[in-house]
Structure 1
Amino acid sequence: MALMRLLILGGTEFVGRAIADEALARGWQVTVFNRGRHAPPPGVRALRGERGSEGDLGALERGEWDAVVDTWTGAPSAVRDTTRLLADRAERYVYVSSRSVYAEPVRAGLAEDGPVVDADPDDGEVAYARAKRGGELAALAVFGDRALLGRAGLILGPRENVGRLPWWLGRIARGGHVLAPGPADLGLQYIDARDLAIWVVDAVERGLGGPYNLVSEPGHATMGELLEACVRATGADARLHWVAPETILAAGVQPWTDLPIWLPEGDLYDALHRGDVTKAVAAGLRCRPVAETVTDTWAWLKGLGGHAPRRPDRPAVGLAPETEAALLRD
């Protein structure tokens, strides 16, 4: 295959960085466009600028690319502006979207043709679901069937800057009695950022377009397998104590935020951990074992002294020690 030219809007953190690394490993010519707050991956061409209502896209006014990857999570109008600017100079546009675009209630087994939230590509700052759907509409308006919409779910792996798996690793590394939200055999659906990157780069090579749910198959791992992998990876003297969902909820503990990744069975669990990924799997999606994701994330964290970076637009996650202790005493 001829040398591919890839432009990543972002490209220095988590998903964007994983895509940059994968493209570079294949010998692609990679350009990243961002504010310059983080060091670009070695080997890329770095352009500086700002997106949004006060943005400066001047650095993107020249150049041609085979594909653009956009991980933007803010105002859809920023995606509108970049798609219009790059319309005649990029062959394909990959928008890393979210399964949050589906309209509630999201039934178990929902595929890509499910109902989505109302949104507008001209929107300014709006709630996350509308922002992602507005970004999809902006990409589709300009690139049509040359737009690939990667509807990711829960994303884990090295360089995670939301803090979910890093919190669990940090807590288990401290050892002692650890509250484990049950049941242990609760199935999880997520994707390692590196597997997402492999699929996206493959999809660009194949010229895919349209929406794809980008997460593992439901039950790819269980809550028990995830936490047990954390114990093994850290080598900590930690003992998992499985607590029933009813007990945890009665104590006012918030799933997903106080206890990252975990959701009790119900509508939200169905939405986030039971999506249909038949289309993506048929198009080559493969997900590595949970132990590999956990082990590699712990190795990355240790390299940072155990302190993971966190996006300023996302709240801190994790259970307060006194709340955990109280639940373990009951």
Structure 2
Amino acid sequence: MDTALVIGGTRFVGRHLVDHLLDQGYDVTLFNRGNHGNPFADHDRVDHVAGDRTVKTDLQAAAMTTAYEAVFDVVAYHPGDVETAVEVFADADAYVYVSSGAAYGAEEIPKREGETSLKPCTPKQATDDSRTTYGARKAAGDRVVFEAAEEGVRAMSVRPCVVYGPHDYTERTDYWLARVRENDRVLVPGDGTNVWHRVYAPDVARAMRLVAERGEAGEAYNVGDRRLTTLAEYVELVADAMGQEVEVVTAGGRALAAGDLSSNDFPLYRPYPHVMSTARLAALGWESTPLATAMRATAADHRESDRDGSGLGPARMAEERVLGVLDTM
């Protein structure tokens, strides 16, 4: 394969995917509405087709006017989007749908493709746009992929966990980068040992390309760092990447209450571990970037941005009240 159509492609994971495909010698066409700046506007091996992925005729027009072997669907948020795409691009050598680790419905350690159950999705949830139905909608998209493969479409799914890296507009990791940059004491909820599987964005891009080239139709592939960290270890990793020395201070429920806070107020906190097996993807030859390397690149991008994640977590004043209580205990 050396031609690809990327549905999305200008923000975060999609942007990293296009960069990776270009590095691998692909010619790329982006299909999107053009609502965000196109970092590849001047690249001679990247074309752009304007259209709305929720409009079938727009997708059909792209299919008829674009040369592609692989189709990467980065921005399918409803199962209806996937149903349309697998129909329109049924002739592709590979259709890769970006699902999510949030699609899993059972709390197991680790979550395995084909073994751990997926979330159900009601007809009402399938057309909803709220955050609470995100995982259910992604799971329904997975089921569309599996059904399309049974009909002869070479359709596959990748399931990233929480993604971090340069250009991360979600700012979840930026919150912790900013805390480390601005303070010598960083408050971490609980005892610091909670685990929420994460993955470096360029590694997701590489996984998508490998699945397109080597994956098996009708299969899903988890994508996550091969080495996991607790939240406290993650903050220490951030500090090393930022060249800062910080004290990680953990706080349980009673101490957090002094600042009218709870553990769930902090980005990347999850009460039950979320861990996904990545053995199936590794069997295709995929490896994840060493954590220190990944975080250094993430920190460098953070320094050049204006992102600080301040809208995602507690105000520093509330944290200071908690730290003050802990100092007297």
TM-score range, shorter chain: 0.7 to 0.9
SS at match of 1:202: helix
Structure 1 runs of 4+ aligned residues shifted over 6 Å read: none
Report 1:94-109 matches (<5 A): 94-103=96-105, 105-109=106-110
Distance 2:95 2:3 in 1: 12
Residue 39 of structure 1 is matched in structure 2 by 38
Deviation at 1:100, TM superposition (A): 1.6
Structure 2 gaps, min length 5:
none
- Matched-pair contact (CA < 8 Å) for 1:112–1:213: yes
Residue 144 of structure 2 is matched in structure 1 by 138
Report 1:261-276 matches (<5 A): 261-264=268-271, 269-270=272-273, 272=274, 274-276=275-277
Distance 2:278 2:256 in 1: 30
Deviation at 1:275, TM superposition (A): 2.5
Distance 2:97 2:202 in 1: 16
**Partner residue of 1:213 out of 222, 227, 237:** 222
Deviation at 1:98, TM superposition (A): 0.9
Q: Does 1:320 align with 2:328?
A: no
Distance 2:9 2:33 in 1: 11
Q: TM-score, normalised by structure 1?
A: 0.83
Deviation at 1:248, TM superposition (A): 3.7
Residue 231 of structure 2 is matched in structure 1 by 223
Residue 240 of structure 1 is matched in structure 2 by 248
Report 1:134-173 matches (<5 A): 134-144=140-150, 146-173=154-181
Deviation at 1:53, TM superposition (A): 5.7
Residue 307 of structure 1 is matched in structure 2 by 307
Residue 77 of structure 1 is matched in structure 2 by 80
Deviation at 1:94, TM superposition (A): 0.3
RMSD, aligned CA: 2.8
Deviation at 1:251, TM superposition (A): 5.9
- Matched-pair contact (CA < 8 Å) for 2:98–2:158: yes
Greater Cα offset, 72-81 or 127-136: 72-81
Distance 1:255 1:282, change over 3 A: farther
Deviation at 1:201, TM superposition (A): 1.2
Deviation at 1:65, TM superposition (A): 1.8
Greater Cα offset, 153-162 or 231-240: 231-240
String of CA shifts for 1:199-221, please: whole Å, max 9, x gaps.
2212222243311121134x522
Point out the structure with the larger strand share: 1
SS at match of 1:65: coil
Deviation at 1:59, TM superposition (A): 3.4
Distance 2:120 2:194 in 1: 32
Residue 181 of structure 1 is matched in structure 2 by 189
**Partner residue of 2:117 out of 115, 118, 121:** 115
SS at match of 2:186: strand
Corresponding letter in the other structure for 1:38: G
- Matched-pair contact (CA < 8 Å) for 1:87–1:143: no
Deviation at 1:68, TM superposition (A): 0.7
Structure 1 gaps, min length 5:
none
Distance 2:16 2:85 in 1: 21
Q: TM-score, normalised by structure 2?
A: 0.84
Deviation at 1:192, TM superposition (A): 0.5
Corresponding letter in the other structure for 1:132: K
Distance 2:190 2:197 in 1: 16
Distance 2:62 2:181 in 1: 44
Deviation at 1:141, TM superposition (A): 3.4
Distance 1:129 1:223, change over 3 A: closer
